[in-house]
Chains A and B, each alone.
Chain A
Amino acid sequence: MKAAGTIRVGAGAGFAGDRIEPAVELVEHGELDYLVFECLAERTIAAAQQARRGDPSGGFDPLLLERMRRVLPAAHARGIRIVTNAGAANPVGAARAIAALARDMGLTPMRIAAVTGDDVLATIEATPWPLIDRFGTTADLQRKLSANAYLGAEPIGAALDRGAQVVVTGRVGDPALFVGPMLHAFGWSLDDPVLIGRGTMIGHLLECAGQLTGGYFADSGRKQVPGLARLGFPFADIAPDGTATLGKVAGSGGQLSVASCKEQLLYEILDPGAYHQADVVADFRTARFVQVAPDSIAVSGGGGTARTGQLKVSIGYDDGFIGEGQISYAGPAAIDRGRMAIEIVRERLRIVGAEVSELRCDLIGVDAVDRSGGDGAAAPREVRVRVAGRSANRASAAAIGAEVEALYTNGPFGGGGATRAVRPVLAIASTLLPADAVTPKVEMVEA
């Protein structure tokens, strides 16, 4: 039971492909006030922008409508408000599609808000801006597909103030999806960096959903987590002073512990004293976690300093193609046959004149993900050759998989299970824009 004056915000998804049942469990049994779906990886929006060019009504997360179909009945009945960035490249189109779904399901009236203004491709195309993750400027990136600024929580709070039951955004900072409801419920000022910093910290803890409750945590030995196949997603009971109690639905799988909370606090954080978001530079160094009951953790501390006035922008650009092939060898000396296969493929790519600018050859089971150099003593009974390469043209990228597959009849003894693939690469670069060059907007759609 949550304390008076607090709001309960649940995390319904931690990535675009996340499980759907944990959100249904939260909305039906979690006594939530808000449910947040974080569904937008860095390059998702570039892919969505391409989809929208093919279909002007598309360009939002393809799983959005299925998620809404599953949670809207309980959310509508209980007055639980939903916030999601699944609008991707077309939040207005997503809002209209949700409105149509709500009408079909008889869940009316329903007010749906679309937050836009994150698309800054025209601004980026007009002037070169320095890149922050490499040398050069935005003008050096050929074939830009998308440029989206990480918006803050203000337009989400404003949409909730105006009565939206569902808020759909494109690119916003992930924690801002959670801070939006806090702005609305508590009337926090964006000029109070301590409160916004604490809210950002709570949002950051929740944004990866199951990673707080034992997912990406479980291990043999002392990190055993029960029930990962029915992992429960977390919620936070947030107080107006920016403290919170984290929990999950009773009987759900997983485990909420001080250890899992500390791991998620630092997840993808560079300087823990300076976590840059649109609304604040948050400071997580003074976070405190106390286990108050099984699967219940009190969070306090944290803070922040004033926002920088600059917004991070992710630019999606066409970066050619990656081609890949894999094939397996087994038995004694499998590793030798794997190495022989790699040398043959390298030579074949030279002979056929494939234009490959970068080639990577691994033996899965030996050195594909291990970076310790191995001990060289073990002789694995099976290895899987993996050859991956980059090319500006699709035909050269495709030659990589073709040459691996051709090892069946032209390569070492006993090669099996060949697979091949080519994919276009949507790469991401980053820059900063002054916040006053970006204008967030809220558009309402009624169902």
Chain B
Amino acid sequence: MLLGDVAHLRTGDKGDISQISVIVYDPAHYPLIERAVTADRVLSHLPGLRARRVTRYTLPELGALNFVLEGALSGGVTRSLALDAHGKSLGAQLLDLVIGDDRGAEGAAAGDAD
């Protein structure tokens, strides 16, 4: 199963920080993404993304995770040399992150801040 099968994402930016929300369509899938979509999994899925620090916020009532990737935008939108200086396209690149099925045991969340 892929992340995009059970969740949708939106990406924003604040200075040199990229922010990616992951939201389940069906609340029943929240425990699955909470288990499977760790900060480490996000970083290993996007090896070309350089972040100084990643923090994951868990939002069980909304069925969502919020990832805050500090230092991920080459200095931020006002001075980055990147084509997508905002990093708007980053969230979509997580749609094919493999999350396994409900029985798949994933590692504990790294860098949680909830």
Contacts and interface: CB of A to CB of B under 8 A. Distances in A.
B64 interface: yes
B79 A425 contact: yes
Given A271-B113, A272-B57, A390-B81, A371 B90 contact: yes
A380 B104 CA distance: 35
Interface in B43-98: 45-49, 57, 59, 61-64, 66, 68, 74-79, 81-84, 89-90, 93
B93 A269 contact: no
Contacts of B9: 263
B10 A270 contact: no
B62 A364 contact: no
B90 to A, nearest CB: 7
A263 B14 CA distance: 16
B57 A263 contact: no
A386 B83 contact: yes
Given A262-B23, A371-B48, A268 B78 contact: no
A285 B62 contact: yes
B48 A370 contact: yes
B10 A216 contact: yes
Interface in A348-383: 358-360, 362, 364, 367-373
Interface string B10-41: 10111111010101010000000000000000
Given A222-B25, A268-B19, A285-B62, A362 B13 contact: no
A413 interface: no
Contact of B62 (A219, A270, A287): A287
A291 interface: no
Interface stretch (A146-154, A328-336, A426-434): A426-434
Given A42-B78, A272-B66, A319-B79, A267 B21 contact: yes
Interface residues of B, number: 40
B87 to A, nearest CB: 9
Contacts of A370: 48, 89, 93
Interface size on A, as a range, is 35 or more
Query: Of residues A270, A288, A319, which shows the largest number of chain B Cβ atoms within 10 Å of its Cβ?
Result: A270
A99 to B, nearest CB: 33
Contacts of A358: 81
B78 A263 contact: no
A371 B61 contact: no
B47 A263 contact: no
A93 interface: no
A266 B83 contact: no
B42 to A, nearest CB: 11
A76 interface: no
Contact of A133 (B8, B10, B15, B49): B15
Contacts of A52: none
Interface string A34-54: 000000001100000000000
A388 B25 CA distance: 39
Nearest to A428: B78
A133 B17 CA distance: 9
A296 to B, nearest CB: 19
B59 A42 contact: no
A131 B74 CA distance: 18
B64 to A, nearest CB: 6
A322 B17 CA distance: 21
A217 B15 CA distance: 22
Contacts of B68: 270-271
A223 interface: yes
A428 B83 contact: no
Nearest to B45: A372
A15 B61 CA distance: 30
B81 A388 contact: yes
A112 interface: no
Given A271-B68, A426-B78, 4 more contacts: A322-B81, A388-B82, A427-B78, A428-B15
Interface of B: 8-10, 12-17, 19, 21, 23, 25, 45-49, 57, 59, 61-64, 66, 68, 74-79, 81-84, 89-90, 93, 113
5 contacts: A223-B8, A262-B23, A287-B62, A427-B76, A427-B78
Closest 3 CB pairs of A and B: A268-B12, A371-B48, A266-B21
